[in-house]
Amino acid sequence: MTQNASHPRIVVPVSTGLHPVSGAPRWSRNDARALGLARSLVSSFADIHVVHAAAARTEALDDYLALGVRHIDVLDVAPGADIVPALADYARGADLIICGMRAEGQEDSGMVPYLLAQRLDMPLLPGALELGMEDGGAGIVQFLPKGRRRRIETRSPCVITAHPMAPLALKYAHANKRQGRLDTVRAGVEPGAASPWTTVPIQARPVRLAAREKRSGHARMLSATTTASRAGTVMDQGSTQEKAVAVLTYLRKHGLIDY
Amino acid sequence: MSQHRRIDPRRPFVITALGRKRYALGQACLSGADAGAAATAPSDAGKPLRLQQPASSCILVAAHTDRGLLPLDAQQAIAAAAILAGPQCAVLLAAFGPLAEDAAPYGADQVIALADATAFQPDAEADVLAELRRQYRPTHIIMADNDIPDGDLGRRLAARQDLSIATHVVELTPDTATAYQKQKSVYARRPLSEVILLDAECVDARLPFAGRGETLDWAPSGNPASRYQDRGVTAVPASHLSLEEADFIVSAGNGVHDLDGFHALAGALGAAVGASRVAVDDGRFTREQQVGATGKTVASSVYIALGISGAVQHLQGIKDCRHVIAVNTDASAPMIKRADLSVIDDAQAIMRALLAEVGTARRQAPESGS
Amino acid sequence: MTVSVAAAISTLFWIGVLGLIVGIARRAALWRTGRAAPVNWLGLLAIPKRYFVDLHHVVSRDPYIARTHIATAGGAIAAMVLVGVNYGLALYWPGLDAAIAIAALIMLIGVAFVWRRRRNNIPSRLSRGAWNRLPWVLGAFALGLLLTGLGVGGAPSVTTMANVVGLLTVVLLLVGAWALTLGAGRGGPMKHALAGLAHLAFHPRPERFSRKPAVSPSALRPLDLDEGQSGVGKPSEFRWNQLLSFDACVQCGKCEAACPAFAAEQPLNPKKLIQDMVVGMSGATDAHYAGSPYPGRPVGQHHGSPDSFIFSDLLDPETLWSCTTCRACVQACPMLIEHVDAIVDMRRHQALTLGDIPGKGPEVIANLRETGTAGGYDLGARYNWAIDLDVKTIQAGDTVDVLLIAGEGAYDMRYQRTLRALVKVLQAANVDFAVLGALETDTGDLARRLGDEATFQMLAAKLIATLDGLSFSRIVTADPHVLHCLRNEYPELGGRYNVAHHSMLMAELIDGKAIHPRALDIDHTLTYHDPCYLARYNGETEAPRRVLQSLGIGIREMERHGQNGRCCGGGGGAPLTDIPGKKRIPDMRMQDARDIGAGTVAVACPGCTAMLEGVVGPRPDVLDIAELVALSLEDGQ
């Protein structure tokens, strides 16, 4: 996959993340990976259009400047409004739109890249660890679980989502903040539909959906008290070879090896 | 004879995770280990059918198979559908990829197997689901929210058909779906949406009933050109994987001195190499290989701990590991209490024996294409 | 030979003066590539006091070389002054000649001892090369002065013998003159005389010489971030008097011998670091360096120039990040060079301009920025360890005597035992104290040592704002890093507090009979490990020892103790950047304890506790002095 000789128009939407413990606004680690993928295709951040469609906050945007971004367009979207139309209008005409897979402090549904791709009628390559462009097309190395990877290609323009485990080559440097700037762009405000979601403070862990069943009180007690139990087997008798065979048998029994 | 039931002084017990015996009263005589196994693995045989009446509606479950089997998150999606489905609602499973097992025990009533769907063809798969939706009019479409492939497909479908969707659902009730928002700082709840993508811990897949498991003969009507070219799947060698990603880890502690043998075993198993803090501080391994609270937190399916005593910080690092196998000379080490299978023996001897056994097994096994 | 020897010597003298001016100018030109800094010309007047008092304190630790230097340098200066008077002014008095001879003899004796030091068993910390040639050069000069003083100059140049001797005298004097003037200007060993004296006058940290300095001599100085200051990326970004200080280095290697990272064979050698700064300043390569290299890095592969970036042509990043900021090098240096300042200046550039910090550094700094804790913890959980101890949390409007600040150690399970012990001691003494609870955010010490001055100033501003809204007499902390930050570094940022270490407080409580600890019965040897940030950064070595002694414990001192203590390896962000070496620094410190047969090591810092507890294998126990005091109060009182 060779880099595009001409200059692709790359748009990277970024969002504000929240720290999982303190709730402080900060740069989204996933969006930073998207920025990193974009940066791997061009010679400088000046060639990337970074956009922030704000339902509200802009505090974390300084963090993106520290990561090296020179310029962020802030779409002034009213709180509660749908950001997808504004983003779609901004990104129309882009060759590549590179997003994070999931926000880290908003609705966090992971739907925005798909809605964008649908609205702009672009193909979407999800879960990218590496990204490359050829004339008229883009290709990614996609993350798959259990240590596998898949290569997929499609024609540009297209939407790419960056996997959270993509490498992060960007470094946070305060001096960069002085060289970056934010520009607010008035966005056409499309009033959003009333959200079907109701926010509820967290007071207990989620309750697992389980089939109601008629088990004896004893069986329910046992499963309630010993579900965490591994009930591990201890082998201290037998020869070393027998023990090794027992290990292999265990692995086979649980489908962990296929030989 | 007295009416009082004598309490059996050697009544059965189970061993809990902390290594304590827990006595359960009223249990018929079972020895310790069996009782634990019995409690956690209810027998599959002879479960009644859930759907006793003809179905007038259905819930569609879509899942991708893994090497012919339904992975755990797919099982959970099917179970969720089966639990939510009313007495006249069938669970329709659309399985992408070859399906070699019976889906009935998981709760599926009708199964559509699309064995050809192996490559990355999300457009075609979304078309299939759209067509199924038109044809069977499911009340909900339930899938697992793994990022790829099911979560991706579910989102594409919702975007394309403009369907309401709830993603990363952590709590499901017959009326509501709840997910985390704002970096897991609040719950967000909504009435059940058309598409529901489930998080890993949302549903208990164990069911007291079974589905009918009838195979439906169904094929997609169209065959659109795909916008994507799938250039193939490769497996990353374990040595190149970061420990956090590795699915099979062999880990060395203070009790491992034969480093060559250890690395040979890891290579033979195709496993990633980890180490306890002691082994790293001694210089036998690099800091990048350290597993534990100050090292890496790993979530592999298999974790073989050789000669590791199991200090608290190390156990913190492996708390998400599914199967832990411990080899140690000390039967009272904390790692033994944590492990699913423990072997009390010298690590060096076990490594040599295991290496030999793996070598023999690999030679005898047919070439497995993955 | 119609020119008399005396005339030749006179001429040589004035040529020498000229040469000296050229030499100084040449060095000064290099210093001036650096950034501007205020030049206090009055510093020149302070040279005698600084030389004979402050410098003497440091140099007198090595009596052999101290006395040798007095003889050599004293003799040389006396002789040269006399030559200047007698020959420069063309007086040619025999009396002065005699004085010259005596001075030269003293110098010669000194040179003999210099030569002896470098003859057998030359300490590995010394540099070879030009420094090994120096005794010969100085010896030649001394001999020349001696011959001058013996009146060779006055003899009429008639016989061949006298001519030869006269010629010899002039040649010998020439050798020395070259080394002292133009040779020094070109960077030869004798430049240390010029630069050393100038350094005393224009030292970047004049507070070192003051008995009651306005600014702490060990506090790092803030950057003006709004002005765009961001540390040192090229040699020319050092202040000119820092460049001057590098020239003063005599390559004695006392810093190298004291450095824990060097001993652990990490790629850091403070001596070579300073010499590499000279290489950078003079646009040369390090091929002529004749001392110990950075462990694992061969000499001759680096070069620099004033306006080229230091990394990675001149230095490797691992060199910079191996430092634990323990200040043993600064403590040991007889030329009063500030190695740690140079390292932190370079770290600042790497951190602020490039964000290029290795290991877990960036993650921890992000935690500090985003949560106010180094580990990314919940602020509300910092005092969970005290939940059953009935400790008061300060509110706005309260007034307490002592504000106890726990620091990041409060999140570490081992160190929580120390904090609980300290609380028990304070309660037994009825000290009126409170804690900040969830208001306590990190002091930012770690960010500052790693060079991220912006995060440090942000955290400092936050903590100062918190503290200024509360009413207390003084702050007490068991963490010397917190102590140093709050006491020494916050004043320049607007926070002035009375801060004490818990060892000082406990010593006061014991002296004031607020608690009556019984004698502790310890059946094995106990040693006390001085924390770098308490002993070297704050000069406090006595209070902890007094506390231990009042517990009836006899302390057996390790060989390196007090201000000369060996670092545990926990400072300067070193555990985070984790540059590998052949050994581990805490292992070496524990070995020091084993070497004296200690069964218990008493510590006074959470970093030392964590690092020493992390040493594997059979080793002495590690106990904080608070734990020992609490133990002694258990049955007593």
Is residue C599 over pLDDT 70? yes
Whether residue C613 lies inside any domain: the answer is yes
> Same structural domain for residues C530 and C462?
no
Q: Are C496 and C543 part of one and the same domain?
A: no
Q: Which whole-number Å values give the CA distances from C564 to A12, C331, C481, C578, in the listed order?
A: 55, 8, 18, 24
Burial of C227 from C-beta contacts in 10 A (0-12 / 13-18 / 19+): exposed
- Encode pLDDT of C498-544 as tens digits: 999 999 999 999 999 999 988 888 888 999 999 999 999 999 999 99
Asked, for residue A26, whether it belongs to a domain, the answer is: yes
Query: What are the residues whose beta carbons fall under 8 Å from the beta carbon of C46, sequence distance 6 or more?
Result: C200, C201, C209
Q: Which residue carries 């930073």 as its tokens?
A: A32
Residues 26-45 in A contacting C (C-alpha not used; CB under 8 Å): 26
Looking at the domain assignment, is residue A34 inside a domain? yes
Q: What is the largest CA-CA distance in chain A?
A: 76
**Shortest CA gap C18–chain A (Å):** 46
Residue A79 has pLDDT above 80, yes or no: no
Query: What is chain A's Cα-based Rg?
Result: 24
Q: Is residue A144 part of a domain?
A: yes
| Same-domain check for residues C181 and C51 | yes
Residue C163, token pair as written in the block? 């001519």
User: In whole angstroms, what is the distance from residue C486 CA to residue C476 CA?
Assistant: 10
Whether residue C213 lies inside any domain: the answer is no
For position A172, which CATH number holds?
A: 3.40.50.620
Q: Do A21 and C377 touch (CB under 8 A)?
A: yes
* Residues C468 and C548 grouped into a single domain: no
- B interface with C, Cβ–Cβ below 8 Å: 278, 281-282, 287
Cα angle C203, C209, C215 (rounded to 5 degrees) comes to 85
In a domain, C330, yes or no: no
- The total domain count for chain C is 3
Phi, psi of C601, rounded to the nearest 5 degrees: -110, 120
Residue C293 lies in a domain: no
- Put simply, the answer to whether A111 touches B365 (Cβ < 8 Å) is no
- Nearest alpha carbon to residue C450 among C227, C231, C224: C231
According to DSSP, the β-strands at B341-344 and B323-328 are parallel
Per CB-CB distance under 8 Å, the chain B contacts of A114 are 155-156, 158-159
Residues of chain C in contact with residue A28, where contact means CB-CB under 8 angstroms, are none
pTM: 0.88
In chain A, what residues touch B229 (CB-CB under 8 Å)? 152-154
Whether C73 and C171 share a structural domain: yes
List, for residues C259-269, the tens digit of each pLDDT value.
Answer: 999 999 999 99
pLDDT above 80 (res B63) = yes
- Residue B249 identity (one-letter amino acid): I
The chain-wide mean pLDDT, for chain B, equals: 86
Q: Are residues C579 and C538 in the same domain?
A: yes
Number of domains in chain A: 1
Beta-carbon contacts below 8 Å between B and C: 7
CA separation for the pair C128, C118 (Å, rounded): 9
Radius of gyration of chain B (CA): 24
Are B84 and B172 spatial neighbours (Cβ–Cβ below 8 Å)?
A: yes
Same domain, C468 and C429: yes
Helix (H) or strand (E) holding B167: strand B165-172
Edge-first strand order for the sheet with C525-528 is C525-528, C598-603, C621-624
Looking at the domain assignment, is residue C313 inside a domain?
A: no
Report the half-sphere exposure of A94 (CA within 13 A, side-chain side). Answer: 30
CB contacts, 8 Å: C616 with chain B: 278, 281-282
Lowest mean pLDDT among B184-193, B281-290, C25-34, C438-447: B281-290
d(CA A148, CA A129): 12
- Last residue within a domain, chosen from C202, C221, C256: C202
Tokens representing B163 are 């369907």
Helix (H) or strand (E) holding C171: helix C160-180
Q: Is residue A117 one of the residues assigned to a domain?
A: yes
CA distance C371 to C367: 5
Nearest to B193 by CA among B171, B157, B163: B163
User: What are the Cα distances from residue B132, in Å, to B60, B92, B193, C183?
Assistant: 8, 10, 17, 91
Note whether residue C381 is domain-resident. yes
Say whether both C628 and C505 belong to one domain: no
Select from C175, C202, C229 the last residue of a domain: C202
Token pair recorded at residue C488: 């020494």
Asked whether the beta carbons of A10 and A138 are under 8 A apart, the reply is: no
Contact assessment for residue C277 and residue C251, using Cβ atoms and an 8 Å cutoff: no
What are C134-153's pLDDT values in tens digits?
999 999 999 988 888 887 54
Please tell me whether the interface predicted TM-score (ipTM) of this complex is above 0.85: yes
Residue C258 maps to a domain: no
Assess if residue A1 is contained within a domain: no
User: Residue C608 is part of which domain span?
Assistant: 525-633
Cα radius of gyration rounded to whole Å, chain C: 28
Query: Which residue blocks in chain A are alpha helix, DSSP H?
Result: 29-39, 61-66, 83-91, 112-119, 217-226, 240-253
Are the beta carbons of C488 and C518 closer than 8 angstroms?
Answer: no
Taking all residues of chain C, what is their mean pLDDT, rounded to a whole number? 92
- Residue of chain A nearest C456, judged by CA positions: A174
Residues of C in contact with B281 (CB under 8 A): 584, 614, 616
Query: Which pairs from C56-61 meet CB under 8 Å and 24+ separation?
Result: C58/C332, C58/C333, C58/C334, C58/C336, C59/C334
Q: Is residue C454 part of a domain?
A: yes
Domains of chain B, with CATH numbers? 10-35 (no CATH), 57-215 (3.40.50.620), 239-356 (3.40.50.1220)
How much is the average pLDDT of C223-236?
93
B 216-275 residues with CB below 8 A of A?
A: 227-236, 238, 241-242, 244-248, 269
| CB atoms B171 and A209 under 8 Å | yes
Q: Is residue A99 part of a domain?
A: yes
Domain coverage including residue A81: 10-186
A21: its two tokens:
């413990």
Tell me the two tokens of residue C56.
């003497």
CATH of the domain at C440: 3.40.50
Partner C contacted by A237 (CB < 8 A): no
Q: Which of B278, B282, B287 sits opposite C578 (nearest CB)?
A: B287
Question: Are C428 and C559 in a shared domain?
Answer: no
Is any Cβ of chain A less than 8 angstroms from the Cβ of C233? no
Give the number of other Cβ atoms within 10 Å of residue B163's Cβ. Answer: 16
Q: Are C465 and C564 in the same domain? A: no
Is residue A244 a part of any domain in this protein? no
**Contact between residue C483 and residue C474 where contact means Cβ atoms under 8 Å apart:** no
Asked whether residue C448 falls in the same domain as residue C578, the answer is: no
- For residue range C433-476, list pLDDT tens digits in order: 999 999 999 999 999 999 999 999 999 999 999 999 999 999 99
Both C134 and C178 in a single domain?
yes
Task: Find chains touching chain A: ≥3 CB pairs under 8 Å.
Answer: B, C
C452 interface with A at CB cutoff 8 Å: yes
* Minimum distance, in Å, between the CA of residue A77 and any CA atom of chain B: 18
Other beta carbons within 10 angstroms of residue A29's beta carbon come to 13
A172 touches chain C (CB under 8 A): yes
Question: Do residue B278 and residue C616 have CB atoms under 8 angstroms apart?
Answer: yes
Chain C residues whose beta carbon lies within 8 Å of the beta carbon of residue B287: 578, 580
Could you read off the pLDDT of C240-290 as tens digits, one per residue?
A: 999 999 999 999 999 999 999 999 999 999 999 999 999 999 999 999 999
Residue A165 lies in a domain: yes
Query: Considering C147, C169, C202, which residue would you say is the last residue of a domain?
Result: C202
